[in-house]
Amino acid sequence: MTSLSFTGIRKTFGTTVALESFDLALQPGELVSLLGPSGCGKTTALRIAAGFEIPDTGVVSLGESVITDTPAHRRNMGMVFQSYSLFPNLTVAQNVDFGLRNRKVEKAKRNSRVGEMLELVQLGELGKRYPHQLSGGQQQRVALARALAVQPEVLLLDEPLSALDAKVRSTLRDEIRRIQTELKTTTLFVTHDQDEALAISDRIGVMSNGRLEQLGTPEDVYLRPASPFVARFVGSINELPNSNGVGKILMRPEDITISENENELTMRGTVTRVTFQGPVTIISVRVDINDQLVNVHAASGSIHVQVGDRVSLAVTPGRGIVEAA
């Protein structure tokens, strides 16, 4: 039994193909992130789910029902947008009440639901304020409460954190995950921020050029990327020459270590930069074999090297992904 599913979706805008052969099925209660660079089609997929775009071909289903052509207002989905979308003429409480009024819920129930939702997003005291009296983070919390108030079958989040600064973003990210887990609402989360996707998701769909490159758990996507694109897009990557001379091996910086031994499996190089980043220090080494720059992540304080030092690099066997030439 799936919740929201896309089957064989194709969507074009003029001559631009936004989505091609797009298949995705969300299990009830899970949070799936669509991750990819700008223009990869992730937002188009979300807008198709919301009913704001109609696919050229393919089927969108919600449980057993096909909703491909169902108008947006009949889909029972909650959506939080990238930009602040609260209705400026309504108070916080009236914003949260908006969808409930549309569903003709009786007043007493509406009031209690609005209160519950505002408590859930920890803004119980601010019901009488107007959106312009709230911070960006508070506005997005209210938008979340508003979307959840109608008990949607699917919650759609369109980069809801991207307008916020780093500290608020991380707090609200954890908050979204807490609420989603608590309410067990099936959620489709669109983001271009890999840290966000890795931290919040049950599964991540990495997209490129309108196609789903890989769908898997955050560990799968990071540790076992299905393609060079996924390896490059999620996390940092080093491109090392293949020992047989054909193509490249893509390695994570943490899978390369500075070795004290020198043998046929190590590469020699010169340290060109040492960047302290708190718990991790990034050591950049220009390797002799192909003059490429290789980044190594080392626990800060564990290794003491300086710019100009000659070092040997060892790779963890079985962790690279081979990219054919």
Query: Footprint of another protein on this chain (CB under 8 A)?
Result: 50-52, 71-79, 81, 83-89, 98-99, 102-103, 132-138, 143, 146-147, 150, 156, 165, 167-168, 171-172
Nearer to another protein, 79 or 120 (CB): 79
Write a three-state SS string for 100-157: HHHCCCCHHHHHHHHHHHHHHCCCHHHCCCCHHHCCHHHHHHHHHHHHHHCCCCEEEE
3-state SS of the chain: helix, strand, coil percent to 5?
A: 30, 35, 35
Residue nearer to another protein on the CB measure, 121 or 206:
121
Smallest separation, CB 190 to another protein (Å): 14
Contact 96, 78 (CB under 8 A): no
- The least CB distance from residue 108 to another protein, in Å, is 20
Q: How far is the CB of 57 from another protein (least distance, A)?
A: 22
Q: How far is the CB of 13 from another protein (least distance, A)?
A: 13
Q: Among residues 83 and 275, whose Cβ is nearest to another protein? A: 83
CB nearer to another protein: pick between 46 and 256: 46
For residues 282 and 272, give the distance between their C-alpha atoms in angstroms, rounded to a whole number.
Answer: 11
Kindly state the smallest distance separating residue 124's Cβ from another protein, in Å: 14
Q: Decide whether 75 or 248 has the Cβ nearer to another protein.
A: 75
Burial of 308 (0-12, 13-18, 19+ CB in 10 A): exposed
Q: Strands (DSSP E) along 123-252, which ranges?
A: 154-158, 186-191, 203-208, 211-216, 238-241, 248-251
Tokens for 40? 């990869």
